[in-house]
Amino acid sequence: MDFIFIIDQMPRLLPGLMLTIELSLLGFLIATIIGVPLGILRAYKIPFFLSWVIDFYVFVVRGTPILVQIYAAYFLLPIFGIKISPFWIGIVALSFNSAGYQIEIARAAILSMDDGQYEGAFALGLAKSYTLFFIILPQAVIRMLPPMANEMSNLIKASSVLSVITVFELHKAANAIISDSFKFLEMLFAQAVLYVAFVVAMTQLSIYLEKKIGANLQIKNLSQR
């Protein structure tokens, strides 16, 4: 293992790492904006057609590989007159994939709340919307964070597949170095280290947010007593 070579090639890998971070964070954010509201809707009684559409979307996402979804976005979007760069095609594919899983995460978190929460709010005469946004959701968010962190980790790793549509993320940058130097093992090790560092950072952020939100929620509950 040539560690000197790995260190020397880091400047060539960092732009790819930064693009991977940008793809993952932006894709995850858009997926959260789409997936969490749909998951909340799915947890409640909604028209059959709407629930069927959401369930079918989740079924398609969970039943097809991310590679198929990336190719679908790459070839289908231009057919419908949507001409965007490979970077944004990657964002669309990652968001589409992650939102499907986040729907289930949000739905499960809402349904896991004890019925006593709703009964207590009803007894106090609180509106359903107030109960949802100020009682149920703050507690459900805490339960969402661990699976959301896992989903973020999956999205970071899935971003490496975007190299098939010429997005110059970390995996693509490493492959370019391999084609020049034939240092396959070194670049494989470098990729692993950088991916793990990014995943660990996101996991630690999730743990911090979980503790922070939980502590704030406890303080709020105590102040209301």
The pTM of this model reads 0.87
Q: What is the Cα gyration radius of the chain?
A: 21
The answer to whether the beta carbons of residues 39 and 103 sit under 8 Å apart is yes
| pLDDT single digits (tens) 94-149 | 999 999 999 999 999 998 888 777 777 787 777 777 888 878 888 888 888 888 98
* 22-36 confidence digits (pLDDT tens): 999 999 999 999 999
Domains by residue range for the chain, with CATH: 3-223 (1.10.3720.10)
Query: Does pLDDT of 220 surpass 50?
Result: yes
Per-residue model confidence (pLDDT) at position 222? 46
